[in-house]
Amino acid sequence: MDRNTVIGLLLIFGLFLGFSFYQSNKARKVMQEQEQQALEEMARQEEDSIAQALSLTAQDSLNDNTAAPAPVAQQQFSTPQLANMDDYVVETNKAWYYFAKQGGCLRKVCLKDVYRYTPKDSAKILMEVFEGGTNDLNIKLQLRDQTEIGTRDCIFLSEMGADTLVVDEEHNSLSLRIYPNNQGDSNQCQTLNVNSYIEYLYTFSPDDYMFTYKVRFVNMEPYLYPTKHNYTLEWNAEPKNVEKNYENEKNLTSVYYMDNTEEVGNIDERKGGTKDFTSPLKWVSFKQQFFTATLIVDGEQAFDSGTLSATAPDKEEREVLKYCKADLDFQMPDLNKGSFNMSMYVGPNQYRLLKTYKMKLERQVPLGWGFFLLHWINRFIIIPVFNWLEVYGLSYGIIILLLTIALKVVLLPVSYKTYMSSAKMRVLKPEIEAINARYPKEEDMMKKQQATMALYRSAGVKPAGGCLPMLLQMPILIAMYRFFPASYELRQQSFLWAEDLSTYDSIWNFTHHVPLLGDHLSLFTILMTIATIVYTWINNKLMNPTQGNKDQQRMMSIMMYMMPIMFFFMFNNFASALTYYYLLFNIFTFLQMWIFRVAVDDEKLHEQLKANMKKPVKKSKWQIKMEELQKQQAQMQRQQQKKSK
């Protein structure tokens, strides 16, 4: 082997060593990069394992084909696109509650064993409060850079192992959280800071329509504007028509509230409107005819102020009842461990049930709260008797019948006194006619009235004696007018031909809307009107005495016959339970009048009154004083006549 060959072999060996060294360095760098990637992957897996331990099921990255990137302001909070965007569902013995994953709020409530109105022979549909998910709650947040975002735009992650929670003694809470992203993390796949979050914590009882709702801030000071501690909770809802009578349900839908003085008020149910509050509010409610959703502040906390509004839809709208809105301000003094505690009731607007919560929620049931006598009659007489009869499992039509009988028995002394007052005036008809004949001229009207009053006084008849008992019965009739349309117990309860005692009983439907009447005819209203006209005729023929001006009597008679006709148009759209009660009231009034007529002998009564006329009349102090005033007035008139001559 010569020298050149050796040198060539050495050069080749050197090149091989150099190439091998270069390749080994390159391989080492690749290996280091792979190890770094593996470490990063392990770190991400560890982070995912933490999230998985909390049951946070989020994808690592956004899918460009299914979701748009989150706005810049929201990227400080977790906004992953969940694999399943269906609602979180909580089931109790009373209802199913649906909570939106985007926004974390209650969207709707489906009540168990409660059904919305459906036409006859149609399949039953479970009642949904906020049908179609039309309920929305949002809290405005201000970030460190003073950018404002809303919780309705954030994805809330649940600690449940599944999307459904069946409430029992051990499992009764739903925790929904939004987490901020780690600061300084510029990767597309941002990691969550699981030690900081805003939480909606819902806690349920298996057999209660009310659940607690807590808003908690945990270690949020690094992310939220540090000097801002007042927040606004925006509550919006669109209650839908679920009853037979849309107009009636709409007119009973509004926003109710109770302030810190425990005064309950509401926005006008018919007109709607807006109210601003600078004083605290303890609860706010979106109330329909038979269902209500109420947001209640627990303990010593309160909404500091707010704006409430209820807006009626367009006249052509036949689905939405009102557009309800509440902007409620509250304080969160501590951003690291603050909590604002509330409760929420979503269920029947039933007086007996709402009263058990001792928060004046029952004031949403229209029992005539504007006049003390009306709601006293309903609360302490009608409702207790109604609930007592309910225990026996009777049909509600029978309960109304028994309730009517009980009230007529209680009012029997009053009715008897009313009859006797009219009967006394009736049997004095010959004496009244004699007075009319004695003073036929118009200028003698005053003398005729004085003579008539003197006759009544000597006979012991009090003309106002029949009016006062009648006035005592009026509050009961008006109280019933308030009670029956507001009674949840009557909802979808049938009786005879009426499918639902809480609404009108239609026996004929028109193809078009008829002014003042609607689109139907109610049979109970027709029967009530006929009974009232018959009662008026009998009362005019047999009861009322002939006195006063004949033209006035004729006009009064026409008015008395016109009133039932007016009531027919008014009550045609009302609850059939109410017109059924008024029908029964008239029928039992006929029976009472017939019994009184048989029991009272008019001839004996007339003889008794004649005997009273022969006795000296003991004048009251008021009568003596009035006679003295009349004498003084007559003397002054005579003196003026002398001066004029």
For residue 33, the model assigns a pLDDT of 58
Of all residues in the chain, what percent carry a pLDDT higher than 70?
79
CA nearest neighbour of 469 among 411, 424, 408, 556: 411
Q: Which residue in this structure is represented by tokens 């992957």?
A: 41
What is the reported pTM?
Answer: 0.76
Quickly state the pLDDT bin for 49 (edges 50, 70, 90): very low
For residue 466, the model assigns a pLDDT of 58
For residue 594, the model assigns a pLDDT of 84
- Between CA 548 and CA 429 the distance in angstroms is 11
Quickly state the pLDDT bin for 636 (edges 50, 70, 90): confident
- Between CA 422 and CA 470 the distance in angstroms is 12
Least confident of 27-31, 392-396, 504-508, 634-638: 27-31
CA nearest neighbour of 104 among 179, 208, 189, 26: 179
Helix H, strand E, coil C: the string for 426-463 is HHCHHHHHHHHHHCCCHHHHHHHHHHHHHHHHHHCCCH
Quickly state the pLDDT bin for 63 (edges 50, 70, 90): very low
Helix H, strand E, coil C: the string for 208-254 is CCEEEEEEEEECCCCCECCCCCEEEEEEEECCECCCCCHHHHHHCCE
Least confident of 402-411, 478-487, 554-563: 554-563
Here the tokens at position 54 are 């909390």
Quickly state the pLDDT bin for 184 (edges 50, 70, 90): very low
Residue 307 in this model has a pLDDT that exceeds 70? yes
Which range, 77-91, 222-236, 428-442, 443-457, is most confident? 222-236
CATH number, domain 53-365 = 2.70.98.90
Quickly state the pLDDT bin for 373 (edges 50, 70, 90): confident
Least confident of 38-42, 113-117, 384-388: 38-42
- Between CA 410 and CA 405 the distance in angstroms is 9
Of all residues in the chain, what percent carry a pLDDT higher than 90?
35
Sign of CA dihedral 546, 549, 553, 556: negative
- Between CA 235 and CA 257 the distance in angstroms is 14
- Between CA 127 and CA 82 the distance in angstroms is 29
Q: Quick one: CA torsion of 167, 173, 176, 180, rounded to 10 degrees?
A: -150
Asked whether the beta carbons of 429 and 545 are under 8 A apart, the reply is yes
Q: What single DSSP character describes residue 385? A: H
What contacts 395, CB < 8 A, 6 or more positions away?
493, 495
In angstroms, the first-to-last Cα distance of the chain is 178
The stretch 363-369 carries a mean pLDDT of 91
Q: Where is pLDDT greater, at 214 or 143?
A: 214
Quickly state the pLDDT bin for 213 (edges 50, 70, 90): very high
Per-domain boundaries in the chain: 53-365, 373-614
Residue 423 in this model has a pLDDT that exceeds 70? yes
Q: What single DSSP character describes residue 584? A: H
For residue 173, the model assigns a pLDDT of 92
CA nearest neighbour of 221 among 338, 111, 125, 109: 338
CA nearest neighbour of 244 among 575, 642, 604: 575
Q: What single DSSP character describes residue 386? A: H
Output the DSSP codes for 182-201.
PTT--SSSPPB-TTSEEEEE
Residue 344 in this model has a pLDDT that exceeds 90? yes
Quickly state the pLDDT bin for 640 (edges 50, 70, 90): confident
Residue 631 in this model has a pLDDT that exceeds 80? no
For residue 50, the model assigns a pLDDT of 35
Angle of helix 576-599 versus helix 396-410 axis, rounded to 10? 40
- Between CA 133 and CA 107 the distance in angstroms is 5
Quickly state the pLDDT bin for 36 (edges 50, 70, 90): low
Asked whether the beta carbons of 108 and 134 are under 8 A apart, the reply is yes
Residue 68 in this model has a pLDDT that exceeds 50? no
Which class for 351: exposed (0-12), middle (13-18), buried (19 or more C-beta within 10 A)? buried
Quickly state the pLDDT bin for 339 (edges 50, 70, 90): very high
Residue 2 in this model has a pLDDT that exceeds 70? no
Here the tokens at position 152 are 């309705």
For residue 616, the model assigns a pLDDT of 66
What contacts 350, CB < 8 A, 6 or more positions away?
365, 488, 489
For residue 621, the model assigns a pLDDT of 66
Asked whether the beta carbons of 493 and 502 are under 8 A apart, the reply is yes
CA nearest neighbour of 325 among 340, 310, 344: 310
Alpha helix stretches (DSSP H) within 236-371: 246-251, 351-355
For residue 238, the model assigns a pLDDT of 93
Task: Characterize the bridge pairing of strands 157-158 and 173-178.
Answer: antiparallel
- Strand segments, DSSP code E, in 48-163 are 88-91, 95-99, 106-115, 126-129, 135-142, 148-150, 157-158
Quickly state the pLDDT bin for 550 (edges 50, 70, 90): low
Q: Which residue in this structure is represented by tokens 């109280």?
A: 479
Q: Where is pLDDT greater, at 441 or 47?
A: 441
Q: Which residue in this structure is represented by tokens 């425990």?
A: 262
Q: Quick one: CA torsion of 565, 567, 569, 573, rounded to 10 degrees?
A: -150
For residue 177, the model assigns a pLDDT of 92
Quickly state the pLDDT bin for 623 (edges 50, 70, 90): low
Mean pLDDT of the chain, nearest integer = 80
- Between CA 228 and CA 568 the distance in angstroms is 60
CA nearest neighbour of 192 among 219, 232, 165: 219
Which residues share a beta bridge with 294?
A: 285, 345
CA angle 110, 363, 308 (to 5 degrees): 75
Q: Which residue in this structure is represented by tokens 């007339």?
A: 606
Q: Where is pLDDT greater, at 351 or 566?
A: 351
DSSP SS3 for 522: strand
